[in-house]
Amino acid sequence: MSIDCLYNLYKKVIKGIKRMGMIIKGGVVNKTNLNGNDTSTKIAIFGDSVSTYGGVYLTPGANPSLDASYNADQDWSIAFAIRKLYPAANVVNVSRGGMTTDQALTGVMTPGQSNPFGSGNIFDWLTNHKPNKVVIRYGLAESILRSDTTASLANIQIIIDEAKSRNMEVILIGVNPAAPNGTAGNPEYYTNDYYSNTMEARAVTINTGILTKAQQQGLKYANPRVLTIPNKSLPDGIHPYRSFGGKITRQILANLRSQLGVETNQTYSFSSPVINSNVSEGATVTFTVSTTGLLDGTKLYWAVDTDTGAQVADVSFPSPPLGNVIINSNSGTINITVATDALSPETDESFYLSLFATEGDLNNFTNRLTSSEVVKIINV
């Protein structure tokens, strides 16, 4: 592929990501902390667009064909997960959409793209900020923008070696699962004409190489590709809706937690008896909240959530569609009644429940404890 063709492809990918309202410039979190003289743990996350946010969702009632309809959600981003593992650490996310390992090594960016390292390259950044731990999550942009997977893996190894030479612990994250062109029963809401089966094959190769490096070199790692892609969970075939993005991050969190030997005394999960994740208008769905380690009488908070623009009016009870649930014997139930409306056909309306520890988190839709499976509303 020529340089001109590669650059045109890059612009097309970035245009598609911008269309989804993604965060293209990696947000640097707590950067000032890394410049201080404190001796606490400092963790740097390097990666591409899937490391800059937790997923995307539609503004309720918005037109899914309009760019401005989409929001980027920071809940359950990789930075959120790392903070769960290291709550006392200073965590900085030095990721950027479309970031490749070549750019990381050289510090030379594509015209119009910001440099997440400020100036210079990843080595300059490590020299200046001296993190204790380095999380590497390159690979998805590599599969799109570079055809040489061997070179991509070699670049990742250079970053690993450089960090280890500075006595920094290295944690590797594999490549997100993707659905090129809606294949394998995973159609997207949008036509995906830039992520091909060839690119997906590269992603698989890079992911395998990353996991092999981790195993051979005794590094901690997480493999997101053990997850099955739910139907219509990747609007462009690459980047997840918030509900699936949260699952990817929870998988990463679980992998790293087990390798770190971190025990958790409290867990949260949802289950429901919905057949094939479909529910007809007018029906009532009972969601069961299952927990471990909570005292009887603990109050948790919940809200109906959506990635696909379902309306508040799509739920007739309770109104508004939020509330609390009391946990006894590590269990509680929530009943949701779906409204009957005059719309026909329904436009892929679906919802799920999100669980929160505090009323403040509920009001701000932040720090979700867990989310249920997505339930699709069937018109009657």
Domain ranges in the chain are 3-260, 267-378
- Residue 247 to residues 64, 133, 225: CA-CA distances in angstroms? 23, 24, 11
- Tens place of pLDDT per residue across the chain (380 aa): 444 444 444 444 444 444 433 333 333 333 333 333 344 799 999 999 999 998 888 777 777 666 677 788 888 899 999 998 998 899 999 999 999 999 999 999 988 889 999 999 999 999 999 999 999 999 999 999 999 999 999 999 999 999 999 999 999 999 999 887 655 444 444 555 667 889 999 999 999 999 999 999 999 999 999 998 887 788 778 888 888 999 999 999 989 988 988 876 788 889 877 666 777 777 888 999 999 888 888 999 999 888 877 777 777 778 888 999 999 999 999 998 888 765 554 556 788 899 999 998 899 888 888 888 888 887 76
Token couple for 270: 């949802």
Q: Give the pLDDT of residue 36.
A: 36
Residue 287 CA to residue 289 CA, distance in Å, equals: 7
Task: Specify the CATH superfamily of domain 3-260.
Answer: SGNH hydrolase (3.40.50.1110)
Strands (DSSP E) contained in the chain are 42-47, 55-58, 70-73, 90-93, 133-137, 169-173, 220-222, 267-271, 278-280, 284-292, 298-305, 315-317, 322-327, 331-338, 350-356, 370-371, 375-378
Token couple for 327: 């946990």
Residue 327 CA to residue 334 CA, distance in Å, equals: 11
Q: Give the pLDDT of residue 9.
A: 43
Nearest to 351, CA basis, from 322, 317, 294, 308: 308
Would the pTM count as exceeding 0.95? no
Which residue is listed with tokens 């719309």?
343
Task: Specify the CATH superfamily of domain 267-378.
Answer: Macroglobulin (MG2) domain (2.60.40.1930)
CB 356 within 8 A of CB 299: no
